[in-house]
Structure 1
Amino acid sequence: MKINGSSGVDPITAYSAQQKKDKVEIQNKQNGAVRSDTLQISTEARQMQHYKVKLAELPAVREELVASLKQKILDGTYKPDQDKIAAALLEERRLDKTV
């Protein structure tokens, strides 16, 4: 059987390329050059992380506000602003449609 040429990589070329690469790495080590990965974080990502930390610091329930409202309800002095509640409901509905 006769084989005409090869479709693979020439082993001599591959070996010499690896030798050159090894030589460069050895020179870099001798010269003190160190390859390292770098990471750059965008300004927006830094701000997002900052706000995430601040949000985690906030309490889940505003205890003082809840206690104050409970006391007003018990005293009979709690008078919610109906116009403000209606406006907030409409705004929330508008935002739901947007999303």
Structure 2
Amino acid sequence: MIDKIHGIYGPSPVGKVNGKKHSGRSASEETDGVEFSSFAKELAKARVELKKIPDVRLDKVEDFKKQIQDGQYRPDMNKVAECLIRAGLLDKEE
């Protein structure tokens, strides 16, 4: 059965493990580094700025609350229906 695993030629011989190859430079010269593209830097800046913006526009929320409390909120029902159809909520029958 072992000959089926290794094929007809058998297992390959194991050789000596080579140690770390030295490039002739000192340890202080051999440093790893990361360099980011200008696009990546701009993207990082944009993310920082985006985190400063709140997820909820409280001024809009307060405006809608006031309209609802005063009975003045009148949503466009065609727009609401269109959004429901797009979301597939009207397809579900309960």
Runs of at least 5 residues in structure 1 that lack an aligned partner in the other structure: 1-6, 94-99
Give CA deviations for 1:47-96 in whole Å, capped at 9, x if unaligned.
Answer: 55344323321213211111111111122111001111222233334xxx
Higher helix share: 1
TM-score by length of 1: 0.49
SS in 1 for 2:25: helix
Counterpart position of 2:84: 89
Runs of at least 5 residues in structure 2 that lack an aligned partner in the other structure: 1-13, 89-94
Counterpart position of 2:58: 63
Tell me the C-alpha RMSD between the 2 structures: 3.5
Alignment of 1:1-99 (within 5 A): 9=16, 21=22, 24-26=24-26, 34-42=29-37, 45-46=40-41, 48-93=43-88
SS in 2 for 1:25: coil
Cα separation, 1, equivalents of 2:87 and 2:38: 30
